[in-house]
Each structure stands twice: as C-alpha cells, then as structure tokens.
Amino acid sequence: MVIYGSILALILIVIVAKLLISNYNPQAVLLFSGLFMLFLALILGFKMPELAKPTGSGFFDVFEYIKIAFSETNANVGLLIMSIGGFVAYIEKNGASDALVFLALKPLKLMKKYPYILASMVIPIGQFLFICIPSAAGLSLLLMASMFPILVNLGVSRLSAASVITATTAFGVGPASVITSRSVKILDIPAVSHFFDNQIPLLIPLIITLMITFFYVNRYYDKKEKVETTVPLEEKEIELKVPVYYAILPILPLVILLVFSELFSFFETPIHLDTTTVMIICVFVGLLMDLIRTKKVKTVFESLQIFFNGMGDIFKSVVTLIIAAEMFSKGLISLMFIDGLVSSSQSIGLGGIGISIVMSLMIFFASVLMGSGNAAFFAFGPLVPKISTQVGVSTTSMILPMEFSASMGRTVSPISGVLIATANIAKVSPFEIAKRNAIPFGIVFLVMIIVHFIL
C-alpha cells in the first residue's frame, strides 16, 4: 500500500513541477493536485486525514478539508502574515522604510574604492533590513532604487549588482518572518527564543560564506563574460518623505518583541505579546508619529486604509497559496508519501540526519519550482513532527535547515517575484540572475548541512 501510494504521489509531484515551471497559477495547481490525491486515496481505500466533525460522506469530507484549512489558517498564522503584510505596506507608503535604508546605506559609501567588496557588504546590511522589513520584493526594490546605481557607477556589472541585492532576501529569519511564524507554531516555542537560540547561530556562518562566494563568483563571471563598464548612472539618493528618525518604525516590532520576551526580565509581572499584537501596536505608533508631524487628523485616519489594503494583498497572494499548499501536503499524507519516504530512506541506511538532509533538499527544490519559499515551507513544514518522531531526531533539528532552504530556494528561482522585479529594473534576465545565484547558494547549502548537523 505504501509503495503504490508513494509511486502515485511521485508521479503527481512531477506533474505539479512541470505545471509550475510552465507558469500555471500555483494556487490552482497545488489545490487541485491536493484534491485529486485526496479523492484518489479515498477511492483506493487509503486512510484519510482525521476530521473533528466528519460530514458523514467521504466525498464531502474532502471539501471539508478546504473549509478547515481556510478557517484555521485565517484564524492563526494567516492573521499573523496579513498583519505583517499590512505593516510592511504602511511603512513603505509613509516613508519609514526609505528612512531605514537611507541610514543603512551610509557605511557602504565608505567602500567606494573596492567595488566587489562593497557589493558583498550589501548582503549583511540587507539581511538586517530584511529582518526588520520582511518583504522580499519590497526590500529588493528599495535597494534597486538606492544601492544599484552606486554599485554600477563603481564598475560592478548590472548582473552582479542585481544578484547581491536578491541575496539580501535569502534568509527569511527573525520574529516577524512568515516562515519563522509558521515554524514556531509547529515547534510551540516563542519566536524570539527561536531567533536567538536557533536561527542566529546558523545565520552568521551562512552570511559570511555567502559574502565570500559572491565576491569570487561575480568577479569571475564579469571577467569571463568580459563585461564592459556600463555608462555611469546618476547616483540616486533616496528622497526622504519623512524625517530620518522614522527609521525607528521598521525596527520597532523587533525591539518590542525583544523587550517583552523571555530573554529579558525587565518586569516583575511577565508581559506576553505575540507578533500579530506587536504589528498592530506599531501601526498605531506610526499613525501617532504621522499625527504629531502633520497635524492632519483626516489624512492620518485615511492612511490606516493602507494597513488594511496591505492585509488584503497578502491574503490573496500569500495566504491563499499557503492554504493551497496545505491541501497539497494533505494529499501527500493521504497517499502515504511521507511514510514511503521515511521507510525507503531507512532501508538504504539513511538515519535521522540523512532524512533531514533529504527533506531540506526537497523543500529547496520545491521553493525553486514554486518561486515562493513560504509556499514550499507551508507545504512540507507540517509534516516534520511526524517524520522526526519516526526517525528519532528533534523537531527543531529537522525544521531549522528546512526554514533556510525554503528562503534560499526562492532566491535561485527565476519565477520568484524578487528575481523578476529586480531583473526588470536592472534590464537583465531573471534566468541569468538565477544562474549567478546558483553556485553561492549551492555552497551555502553544503555549509549549512555541515555546520548544523556536524559542527
């Protein structure tokens, strides 16, 4: 039963991959493939995922899974993601994101005599910004408007400049990250503790590796392809719409989460704040700052709609993809694909570490195919507790490299929003950026496995 189900699941995974590569709508592909697998499992007599309140008909139960996915996702992680999206939309519109990027780019200008070192230095600074502004496309567009002309003026090719800018969004970590929010739900631990105890120790060596590899890879490709110096672009300063002190607003959620976390004990009576609450608090702080600065009550009240619109945009683009990915994952479970993966891995001698590496590779390539690290992680992340129990490794140990793999895969995907938006402004092909990113992220993946599982 396990063998037949796993073979059917593998065939459907290949079909799904081909459809995604052919640019079919990812929500529809994942949803319909998940439904098809569930119906197939029902017809063939496989054990179906349990329902708290079955409809009484196996046929209608399949659609009940969709309703539950919508209700549970929207009530929990969906609300969190939408609140993050709304906050990011708000700080982008009111100029706070620009103020933070403006300050962050100041130290880079000291390295103007060393263009490729300067290009590599964009990565750690951009990663810090990405923790505070968890919008991959939004941050990359800000850096394309501000940092890209500086790099090109200094003799870095358009392709090299675009590649390091996309690399700033390679690690979706931090308390405000969508991937982190889902991960801590699975692990049932605080986001701040996970960030400091698990993510940062792995993040630091990976960033250093990424800087070194991008330095050599971009310099090698530019020499090999005999890239001519581009006509110098006018160096663009970010035009600030607000005072520079607004730069505190994007960082504020991280600060509040740290102050009220279990890592610090500033208060006799513990205060517990989750990320969704903090995002809402920070929006109101931004509205208050705008009110003090402009003294226009009507304008400030109207700007709250930006937050709501941002939540809606995230729902239709990200949350629906997560729900579709969850149905896809339920389909894989119903055909016993995970049981087949575990048993076949064990039969060829792979232990817990080997299966963890296999899962990390799967989620990396799923992210490349889908163009979305979030969707890939949400499809495979919920499967981790069951697999880790079967193979005898901790859930945290297995899920951490999967988090990094999901966001890294997106950075190598030519169909991801980040690469498409960046390539469009840089006037290069997203496939060329993906090619430049492939070697550094291949090396970083190996380093991640060595650091996490061996060192």
Per-residue pLDDT of the chain (455 residues; tens, 9 = 90+): 778 888 898 899 889 888 877 878 888 988 999 899 999 999 998 888 888 888 889 899 999 989 988 887 777 777 877 887 888 889 888 888 888 878 877 776 676 678 888 889 899 988 988 888 777 876 787 787 667 877 777 778 889 999 999 999 999 898 878 899 889 989 989 888 899 999 999 999 999 999 999 999 998 988 887 765 444 444 556 678 899 999 899 888 878 877 886 656 667 777 878 778 888 999 999 999 999 999 999 999 999 999 999 899 888 877 887 788 778 878 887 888 767 766 776 677 677 888 889 889 988 988 887 777 877 787 778 878 888 888 888 999 999 999 999 999 999 988 787 888 788 778 888 889 999 999 999 999 999 999 998 87
Looking at residue 231, its pLDDT comes to 44
The backbone torsions φ and ψ at residue 219, rounded to the nearest 5 degrees and listed phi first, read -65, -40
Q: Which two tokens stand for residue 37?
A: 């697998």
pTM, full prediction: 0.73
166-178 residue pLDDT tens: 999 999 898 878 8
**8 A C-beta contact, residue 375 and residue 422:** no
How far is it, in rounded angstroms, from Cα 325 to Cα 85? 19
How far is it, in rounded angstroms, from Cα 246 to Cα 90? 12
Sign of the torsion angle spanned by Cα atoms 71, 72, 78, 79: positive
Give Rg (Cα) of the chain: 23
How far is it, in rounded angstroms, from Cα 235 to Cα 237? 7
How many alpha carbons lie under 13 Å from residue 19 in its C-beta half-sphere?
16
**Domain segments of the chain: what residues?**
2-454
The backbone torsions φ and ψ at residue 266, rounded to the nearest 5 degrees and listed phi first, read -80, -15
The three-state DSSP-derived secondary structure of the chain is: CHHHHHHHHHHHHHHHHHHHHCCCCHHHHHHHHHHHHHHHHHHHCCCCCCCCCCCCCHHHHHHHHHHHHHHHHHHCHHHHHHHHHHHHHHHHHHCHHHHHHHHHCCHHHHHCCCHHHHHHHHHHHHHHHHHHCCCHHHHHHHHHHHHHHHHHHCCCCHHHHHHHHHHCCCCCCCCCCHHHHHHHHHHCCCHHHHHHHHHHHHHHHHHHHHHHHHHHHHHHHHHHCCCCCCCCCCCCCCCCCCCHHHHHHHHHHHHHHHHCCCCCCCCCCCCCCCHHHHHHHHHHHHHHHHHHHHCCHHHHHHHHHHHHHHHHHHHHHHHHHHHHHHHHHHHHHHCCHHHHHHHHHHHCCCCHHHHHHHHHHHHHHHHHHHCCHHHHHHHHHHHHHHHHHHHCCCHHHHHHHHHHHHHHHHHCCCCCHHHHHHHHHHCCCHHHHHHHHHHHHHHHHHHHHHHHHHC
How far is it, in rounded angstroms, from Cα 419 to Cα 411? 7
| ∠ CA 300-301-303, rounded to 5° | 65
